[in-house]
Amino acid sequence: MRPPPLVLASASPRRRELLARIGVEPAETDPADIDETPRSAERPRHYAVRMAAEKAAAVAPRHSGSLVLAADTVVAAGRRILPKTEEEGEARTCLNLLSGRRHRVLSAVTLVDAEGQAHHKLSTTIVTFKRLTDAEVAAYLARGEWRGKAGGYAIQGFAESWVRFLSGSHSGVIGLPLYETRTLLEHAGYSLG
**What is the H or E stretch that residue 54 is in?**
helix 44-59
37 close to 55: Cβ distance less than 8 angstroms: no
Coil, strand or helix at 17: helix
Q: HEC profile for 119-179?
A: EEEEEEEEEEECCCCHHHHHHHHHHCCCCCCECCCCCCCHHHHHEEEEECCHHHHHCCCHH
Choose, from 30, 33, 72, 113, the residue flagged as catalytic: 72
Residue 72 bears catalytic tag: yes
**Hey, which residues are catalytic here?**
72
